[in-house]
Amino acid sequence: MGAEGTILHADLDAFYASVEQRDDPALRGRPVIVGGGVVLAASYEAKACGVRTAMGGHLARRLCPQAVVVPPRMSAYSAASKAVFEVFRDTTPVVEGLSIDEAFLDVGGLRRLRGSPLDIAARLRHDVRTRVGLPITVGVARTKFLAKVASGVAKPDGLLSVPPDGEMAFLHPLPVERLWGVGPVTSGKLRARGIVTVGHVARIGEAALISMVGQGAGRHLYALAVGRDPRPVQVGRRRGSMGAQHALGRGPRTPEDLDAVLSGLVDRVTRRMRAASRVGRTVVLRLRFADFTRATRSHTLPRATSHTPLILSTARGLLVSSLPAISARGVTLVGVAVSNLDDGRAVQLELPFDGWSGAELDGALDAVRDRFGSRSVTRATLLGHPDPMSVPILPD
């Protein structure tokens, strides 16, 4: 952490909805919802009515009946993301992408070339607006955590710099939920003890926090609350997991329906893994129930793999174990991820060598789909099911 705030957190505002408003002038200034069955994005005009991402479409339309609902255009969002990241890289070579619509930038050492970090942030916002046509919010601070909090406070379409001598004055009045790692469970534990602001977290001390939320979380939250975050902006850092998810809406689903969705997700994830030469050990199943609560199930394999049948078999086992909860509570989203990723070119072979590992079939199917499209070869269970939406993602 330097003596000057040189880390920028740049975050596009309501990304999908902003692209729609950019491309259709008739939508500007109006509440816009992207996605029908489930809200994929909402403009700030729609958010003012209470519409939120991942909300069911029926509820969103009740909250904001005047909203314009548009279908998603993933190719347009992907193109806009690439254009924005070109602006980022023209600003500084030190860019760490977090998702398709946000990134950290380190502008340390650029003062003589481009001015102060605040000047660079202002120029970045101007360049994104003029070159890509989208609003973007930027936070400037000494640490990644403070820069991200600053951009969140400055939204929408804002710029906020946190000076080093004003960090605690900025951070401590904020609600405790602003701390990374404070979700509903941790927030409930802290608020039940009267800890409602970041300042309360800092004053209560590390030992007391550890007794409340555990050693790892307690140390992490205390460090953030007192402004300690030594993580640098990393260029070229490979992702630690690969996943995909599919929103189902609120209708009833049979186990066969869920298995078909699961199969399609696993096909997509394992194909991405092989394209990036990655293998992984831990298979994760994510569920969102009809009451908006979530659950995660995982299983770690003996060795890393990208073999589709093995990962699918593991995911199916996790799904079967979750069927009682799904039957009782309903399900609106299914997701699959593979974590504990490693380089697929450095897999340790095991004796005795197997004459056929299944990788040959995976490779042949990948080649056919690359040439003729993802639906050119499909599973029988997926016949008649719509092709799941392919959400834009950052390169591995």
Task: Per residue of the chain (396 residues), give pLDDT as tens.
Answer: 556 789 999 999 999 999 999 999 999 999 999 987 788 899 999 999 999 987 888 899 999 999 999 999 999 999 999 999 999 999 999 999 988 999 999 999 898 888 999 999 999 999 999 999 999 999 999 999 999 999 999 999 999 999 999 999 999 999 999 998 888 888 988 999 999 999 999 999 899 999 988 898 899 999 999 999 999 998 877 778 899 888 786 778 889 989 999 999 999 999 999 988 899 999 999 998 888 788 999 999 988 899 999 999 999 999 999 999 999 999 988 999 999 888 877 666 666 656 555 677 777 887 887 787 777 777 777 776 666 656 666 766
The pair of three-digit structure tokens given for residue 6, joined into one six-digit string: 């040189």
DSSP H helical segments within the chain, as ranges? 15-23, 44-47, 57-63, 74-91, 111-114, 117-131, 144-154, 167-171, 184-192, 198-204, 206-213, 215-225, 255-275, 308-329, 359-372
Decide: pTM greater than 0.75: yes
Which pLDDT score, from 0 to 100, does residue 181 have? 84
Helices (H) and strands (E) in the chain, counts: 15, 13
Count other C-beta atoms under 10 Å from residue 24's C-beta.
13
**Strand pairing of 102-106 and 7-12?**
antiparallel
130: which residues sit within 8 A by CB, 6+ positions away? none
Query: How many alpha carbons fall within 13 Å on the CB side of residue 203?
Result: 12
Max CA distance (Å), the chain: 66
- Tell me if residue 16 falls in helix, strand or coil: helix
Residue 84 CA to residue 100 CA, distance in Å, equals 9
Rounded-to-10 torsion of CA 224, 228, 233, 234: -90
Please check whether residue 388 is in contact with residue 265, taking contact to mean a CB–CB distance below 8 angstroms. Answer: yes
Q: What is the DSSP letter of 382?
A: G
Tell me the one-letter amino acid at 5: G
Contact at 8 Å (CB) between 62 and 56?
no
Q: Which residues are catalytic?
A: 102
Structure-token pair, residue 82 = 């690439």
pLDDT at 387: 62
CA distance 153 to 181: 17
What pLDDT, on the 0 to 100 scale, is given for residue 167?
Answer: 94
Spatial CA neighbour of 357 closest among 372, 347, 367: 347
